[in-house]
A = this chain, B = another copy of it.
Amino acid sequence: MNGARSLVETLLKSGVDTCFANPGTSEMHFVAALDQVPGMHCVLGLQENVVTGMADGYWRMARKPACTLLHCGPGLGNGWTNLHNARRARSGIVNIVGDQATYHRPHDPPLTADTEGIARAVSAWTRTTTRAADVGRDAAEAVRAARMHPGQVATLVLPSDASWDEGGVVAGQLAVPAPQPVDSHAIDTVARVLREHRNVLILLACEAVGDEGQALAWRIAQATGAKLMAEFVNARVARGRGRIPLTRVPYKGELAREALAPYGHIVLVGAKPPVGFFAYPGQPNVHYAPGTQFHVLSRPEQDGVQALRMLADALHAPQADAPDAGPRPEATTGEPTPEKLALTLAAVMPDNAIVSDESVSYGRDFYRHTHAAPAHDWLHLAGGAIGDGMPVATGAALGARKQRRVISMQADGAGMYTVQSLWTQARERLPCTTVVISNRKYSILVGEYAGVGAKPGATAMNMLDLGNPDLDWVKLAGGMGVEAARATTMEQCADLMRTSFAREGPFLVELVV
């Protein structure tokens, strides 16, 4: 068999059965092999940042890697930024990047680029396979690298002759090493800190913000009086009824510093000492108080849930139920506001929904109003690079086998980055509801400009507003086969959201705010 076929068979044996793709000429043998070997679900994205973002969302829900199929260095380049976001989400992804044949590359034809260079700039594992005989082995290693706890970006560059040459060898699935063991000394130290101090914050991240991690952390908090918080961005956090009222470290420096000021000790569970997204002149660039002592319970490479379990046991922390979330909010009326949109979301979302949150500045306070919604998962923009909200939603719908409604809370400026996602949602008939928050400006930047000290002038606003001309999201969605409607009041928004949940496929609500 040729290298391409050994690649497809190896991926399937390794448990990779979903391929997000935008192939080109150098990938045609792989595409042909996909035709010959059944079992791979191939999903086309109309631009590669959609492709890589879908793979990120898929991992977050399925907890297993998909592969991507990208065309040469420039195809990888187009998808680079959502790989950055995936890296920050610690999502496992196997990128297959077809490239020039080994003997053709020295001629430097137009599509030749520094493929390995940009791959290494975002991948934990990068390899170029130059012989058909090695393709299977390297693919199996790529999958293992992607699945290495907690999840990594792995990139396999495949010159086209390694695909088409005969001599391919299928490799079996490689065992993935267990997470690095929890450090019992760390458990003892943190237990002592919790017993001896009343000003302790336990800062959760990675898998510790899931169902089980939260429940364990709650037991510990109830037993010791420690407070709990999550990082500002989380790849996937369990929320809603039955879960604990877990707040995040605020985005804004002054709010974050105020929230963290009470704590002399911060216990890190897969988390990092909280710092600003950016530094600002004359302001502290870290969010914790001077003199704060940090205690690492677990690093991301360790199993944070196991660490919390060991800590709860060491503390003999009794079972503790999450507190009642209070009454479910009711849908709101009148002119849209961030609070009303959050309350409406909590009021109408179906059971077991997934929220893909790229609401940017508009949605910073959504959390406090959505705790009493039915149980759901919430996905953040983990790497801060706008343009992953809709691709992640698209991939998450597939990662959840189309069994859960995915609701994108989508800022308009960020949405335009990867607007092509809507087409894939229509093509795959995915249960995706997109609520575009149409404020017709880069609102976060208007706020940031104010931080520089003045009101934006005409030149600056020319780079910050999106209102000339207005984007018409109903037409944009319709142009890609997605049913859509516009809302200017919260009543309309709630009605349209409910309508969308009854659809089998995607729906877009443009909420003009």
A93 to chain B, nearest CB (A): 15
Q: How far apart sit A114 and B22, CA to CA, in the bound complex (Å)?
A: 25
- Assess A110 versus B28: contact at CB under 8 Å? Given A117-B120, A476-B479: no
The reply to whether the CB of A130 lies closer than 8 angstroms to some CB of chain B is: no
Indicate which residue in B22, B109, B113, B478 contacts A277 across the interface (CB closer than 8 Å): B109
Are the CB atoms of A472 and B479 closer together than 8 Å?
yes
Residues of B within 8 A of A255 (CB): none
Are the CB atoms of A385 and B111 closer together than 8 Å?
yes
Indicate which residue in B121, B416, B453, B457 contacts A121 across the interface (CB closer than 8 Å): B121
Residues of B within 8 A of A44 (CB): 462-463
Residues of B within 8 A of A417 (CB): 46-47, 78
Q: How far apart sit A168 and B137, CA to CA, in the bound complex (Å)?
A: 54
A486 to chain B, nearest CB (A): 12
- Assess A24 versus B479: contact at CB under 8 Å? Given A104-B279, A161-B281, A384-B111: no
The reply to whether the CB of A475 lies closer than 8 angstroms to some CB of chain B is: yes
The reply to whether the CB of A164 lies closer than 8 angstroms to some CB of chain B is: yes
The reply to whether the CB of A74 lies closer than 8 angstroms to some CB of chain B is: yes
The reply to whether the CB of A426 lies closer than 8 angstroms to some CB of chain B is: yes
Are the CB atoms of A42 and B451 closer together than 8 Å?
no
Give residues 23-76 of A contacting B (CB, 8 Å).
23-26, 28-29, 31-32, 34-35, 40, 42, 44, 46-47, 49, 69, 72-75
Are the CB atoms of A47 and B84 closer together than 8 Å?
no
- Assess A278 versus B101: contact at CB under 8 Å? Given A47-B416, A449-B28, A480-B471: yes
A484 to chain B, nearest CB (A): 10
Give residues 423-468 of A contacting B (CB, 8 Å).
423, 426-427, 444-445, 448-449, 451-454, 456-460, 462-464, 466, 468
Q: How far apart sit A277 and B112, CA to CA, in the bound complex (Å)?
A: 9
User: What are 12 sample pairs from A and B whose C-beta atoms fall under 8 A apart?
Assistant: A25-B278, A46-B466, A74-B85, A77-B81, A80-B118, A84-B113, A100-B278, A107-B275, A109-B278, A111-B385, A161-B281, A476-B476
Nearest first, the 10 A-B pairs at minimum CB distance are A469-B481, A74-B385, A475-B479, A476-B479, A104-B279, A77-B80, A35-B457, A117-B121, A101-B279, A110-B384
